[in-house]
Structure 1
């Protein structure tokens, strides 16, 4: 462990902010790491049309000066909001997880470049399922999740509901490279150790699939995990996984994220996106 690592919590002041803070603090406590609270401000630049010829020189100069002042005021308000947001979030974490250290980060621009700025420090990333820009959309998972997941080399925890300490988890397994990596990630990390685990495959009842599932279960058991391997008969992978989760009262899911390219996803759809949009449980994505 390096002292510079942290669990990066991406907050935006939406309804899921407290959930993001709590799950980030929980994750950090499992690894004895600090939480890095990050808010990204994206203040749009005013659209300044070419006013030449439309009005007099003096009037044009006056309007440009007013636009400049409005830009400065808007930036000051956004900075004040950002300051208050990260301070409130820090207080929230320290009240519930007193032993977890908190670092504050404030960036300007887009979310992904801000996350990549801390690439060397990020041990995991925590994001809300629905951001402030999509708070009124019932099924929208947040415009940034797929973008960040495809670019990230560390696990991403997605949450939305009030924090509930996980007691059980399931790994969605299909024998793909991303699913195998998800198993490898769980096996080498203490985050989920001590919980009741399940590794679940839907369909694919051939010998090769059975061997792959068995090997994945053996890898977890060798790492000290209590885990059961399950073959589920269902025509639809998403429904099969969600039904298994509900029937077994499982708190958290682990998914190998976005195994298809964006072009393949356009024609085939994304199991990852369907699951994220269909459950309110926290999900750990592994790319």
Structure 2
């Protein structure tokens, strides 16, 4: 029987370099969403069983010696992989309890790759949080593309944002993201900059004005900007840097396959270049 709790924040503990950052981001999101944290660790039994060095990934000393014992081997058996995962999950639980005692956490130890694990939690989770450097064979963009749940990608260290940039393009996905932002408590305390990259014409101005009004009506402190620029990625990064914005939010992979093949994906470019937490909303 599954112990997956509905509307959880799922913390993907797949990469040693990002375990603490993922936990910090999960605690930040959990507090705002008033949701439990599901600590997810995937153990794909069919992949190469190389030892992964999780020792020292958290400021917990009681079991680091045991974790270090696993990293002295080049490869681990299925039983050793399972034990390593259990130790990591116990450390992650302890870390969360030490940081914020009122947070509710539970563990999900999956014996499958991260793709399959995300598919398992996808329909019931409220938010999935993953480190920028994933250890599974699938690329980060592939993981994001198949998800039906919002995904927050974080670098290390995680810095709690006070401002957010919402890249609005008047597409069905961006309107779906707009509806979500108006309802969720995740960004309620943030200043949201709604930014549109496109021609300064009446159609774009009207669409941006209406979206901005929706955010204001929802009680979200907001600013708006229309930038006439061909390079979407460069324009968003420039605006984000100029305004010192700590969180980027866009729809995920909204372009057609043909356009992506010919011009490349803005989502993939942003995933590769952004240095702040990046929230991606599933395609409508």
Q: TM-score range by the shorter chain?
A: 0.7 to 0.9
Residue 224 of structure 1 corresponds to which residue in structure 2?
219
TM-score with structure 2 length normalisation?
A: 0.83
The alpha-carbon distance between structure 1 residues 151 and 45, as it changes in their structure 2 partners (threshold 3 A), is closer
Confirm or deny: 8 A CA contact 2:149 2:281 kept in the other structure.
yes
**Aligned partners of 1:181, 1:282: CA distance in 2, in Å?**
20
Task: Point out 4+ residue stretches in structure 1 off by more than 3 angstroms.
Answer: 261-264
Report the structure number with the largest CA radius of gyration: 1
Deviations 1:173-206 (A, max 9, x none): 1111222222111111111012111001123212
> Quick check: 1:40 aligned with 2:35?
no
Confirm or deny: 8 A CA contact 1:6 1:123 kept in the other structure.
yes
**Aligned partners of 1:107, 1:280: CA distance in 2, in Å?**
29
**Aligned partners of 1:158, 1:44: CA distance in 2, in Å?**
26
CA RMSD of aligned residues (A): 2.1
Residue 59 of structure 2 corresponds to which residue in structure 1?
none
> Quick check: 1:145 aligned with 2:140?
yes
SS in 1 for 2:107: strand
For structure 1, which runs of at least 5 residues remain unmatched after alignment?
47-72, 134-141
TM-score with structure 1 length normalisation?
A: 0.82
- Aligned residue runs from structure 1 range 118-197, under 5 A: 118-132=121-135, 143-197=138-192
Deviations 1:1-26 (A, max 9, x none): xx732111111142011111111111
Confirm or deny: 8 A CA contact 1:25 1:93 kept in the other structure.
yes
For structure 2, which runs of at least 5 residues remain unmatched after alignment?
49-75
Residue 52 of structure 2 corresponds to which residue in structure 1?
none
**Aligned partners of 1:283, 1:13: CA distance in 2, in Å?**
17
Confirm or deny: 8 A CA contact 1:5 1:120 kept in the other structure.
no
Residue 107 of structure 2 corresponds to which residue in structure 1?
104
